């Protein structure tokens, strides 16, 4: 099954909300969107469905106002209920083919992959893009496997034709090497949630992407 979901909805910078950072995630989302972030992924693993739904509705409204895409982490039903552009699923969530069947051809369906075999399977099942990592060590999520580095990102990117979004430990200084390894874009959490000025930090990341692309 070919990849589906609009490529224009993917974007090269994914901002992931951090509801456990002790900071209002909407403050970071607002700053990132004002700076031009094209995608916001709503993650709230400790939130109830109701709480995540309410947060997603607020993020989706903000994304719509800025022409950006809102994607929900893990919970397909919340993405559907809130009218998000799509969902990102991991190893223990619904399979990509099932998610595609539920959301339809126009939705964004991202999937986590750490090796070419899983990446190819997700692509064949209809994934729009792959979240590939952990690229580097990070403290924003516990229990992650050993980082795959740029070599791991390169192996996955060479195995598939859909966009690869590198995640975990991404900083401005690492954007260039990740895109050089074949990543289409990057996803960030701490780079913005820990930043003193999330607006300026988003602008720096977008400029780093432009430099890596030769824009």
User: 182: domain range?
Assistant: 7-213
Backbone phi, psi, residue 156, to 5°: -70, -45
In a domain, 15, yes or no: yes
In a domain, 11, yes or no: yes
Q: Tally the residues of the chain.
A: 215
Interatomic CA distance for residues 23 and 162, integer angstroms: 34
Indicate whether 145 pLDDT > 90: no
For residues 123-142, give the mean pLDDT: 88
In a domain, 90, yes or no: yes
| Interaxial angle between packed helices 116-125 and 149-159, expressed in degrees from 0 to 180 and rounded to the nearest 10 | 40
Indicate whether 7 pLDDT > 70: no
**What integer pLDDT is reported at residue 17 of this predicted model?**
95
In a domain, 122, yes or no: yes
- Under the banding of pLDDT at 50, 70 and 90, the label for residue 20 is confident
Assign residue 169 a region: left if phi > 0, alpha if psi is -120 to 50, beta otherwise?
left
Locate 8 and state its tokens. 């224009």
Interatomic CA distance for residues 136 and 152, integer angstroms: 10
The mean pLDDT of the chain is: 93
In a domain, 18, yes or no: yes
Among the listed ranges 13-22, 73-82, 121-130, 159-168, which one has the minimum average pLDDT value? 13-22
Q: What is the pTM of this model?
A: 0.94
In a domain, 2, yes or no: no
**What integer pLDDT is reported at residue 10 of this predicted model?**
87
In a domain, 73, yes or no: yes
Indicate whether 1 pLDDT > 50: no
User: Do residues 204 and 172 touch, judged by C-beta distance below 8 A?
Assistant: yes
Highest mean pLDDT among 135-139, 175-179, 189-193: 175-179
Indicate whether 179 pLDDT > 50: yes
- Under the banding of pLDDT at 50, 70 and 90, the label for residue 110 is very high
Q: Could you tell me the CATH number of the domain that includes residue 94?
A: 3.20.20.70
DSSP 123-163: HHHT-SEEEE---S--SSSTT-----HHHHHHHHHHH-SS-
What's the number of domains the chain is made of?
Answer: 1
Indicate whether 2 pLDDT > 50: no
In a domain, 1, yes or no: no
For residues 161-186, give the mean pLDDT: 97
């Amino acid at each position: 099954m070919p990849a589906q979901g609009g490529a224009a909805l993917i974007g090269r910078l994914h901002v992931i909300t951090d509801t456990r950072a002790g900071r209002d995630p909407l403050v970071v989302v607002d700053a990132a969107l004002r700076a031009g972030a094209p995608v916001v992924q709503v993650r709230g693993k400790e939130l109830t469905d109701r709480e995540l739904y309410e947060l997603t509705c607020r993020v989706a409204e903000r994304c719509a106002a800025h022409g950006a895409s809102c994607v929900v982490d893990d919970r397909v039903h919340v993405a559907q209920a809130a009218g998000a552009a799509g969902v990102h699923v991991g190893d223990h969530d619904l399979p990509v083919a099932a998610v595609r069947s539920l959301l339809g051809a126009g939705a964004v369906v991202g999937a986590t992959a750490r090796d070419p075999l899983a990446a190819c399977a997700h692509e064949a099942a209809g994934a729009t893009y792959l979240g590939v990592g952990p690229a580097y060590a990070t403290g924003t999520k516990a229990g992650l496997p050993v980082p795959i580095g740029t070599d791991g990102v390169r192996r996955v990117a060479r195995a598939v034709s859909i966009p690869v979004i590198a995640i975990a430990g991404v900083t401005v200084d690492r954007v260039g090497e990740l895109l050089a390894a074949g990543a289409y874009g990057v996803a960030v959490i701490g780079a913005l949630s820990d930043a003193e000025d999330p607006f300026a930090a988003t602008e720096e990341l977008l400029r780093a992407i432009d430099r890596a692309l030769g824009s």
